Amino acid sequence: MAHVATQAASIPGKGPTVTAARAAKAPQPVTAPPAVDPNREKALQILSKSIYKELRENGYQPKQIVALATEIISLVTTDIGDGPLT
């Protein structure tokens, strides 16, 4: 069984002293996601159309493009499931 340190530590704004074990369990503050930049949204639309057009011009069929999009969504879903994005 692991040994948990119980040395007293002072945590600013949390009262006089808190044990290290209790401090480790303290909830982390929740930060709001950054505001969505409208320019970034527009850039994503332009990029998407450009990629689609390039794929079609290079002979990719709509089903193949859907397969690519599905794979990208799968990768993003896995990334989101791995933990908080930074």
What is the C-alpha separation between 16 and 30, in angstroms, rounded?
24
- The string of pLDDT tens digits covering residues 35-62 is 678 899 999 999 999 999 999 999 999 9
Q: Cα angle at 57 between 42 and 52, to 5 degrees?
A: 30
pTM for the predicted model, two decimal places: 0.51
Q: Which residue has the higher pLDDT, 73 or 82?
A: 73
81 — pLDDT class (breaks 50, 70, 90): confident
Domain ranges of the chain: 37-86
**Which of the two residues, 17 and 76, has the higher pLDDT score?**
76
Residue 44 has what pLDDT?
95
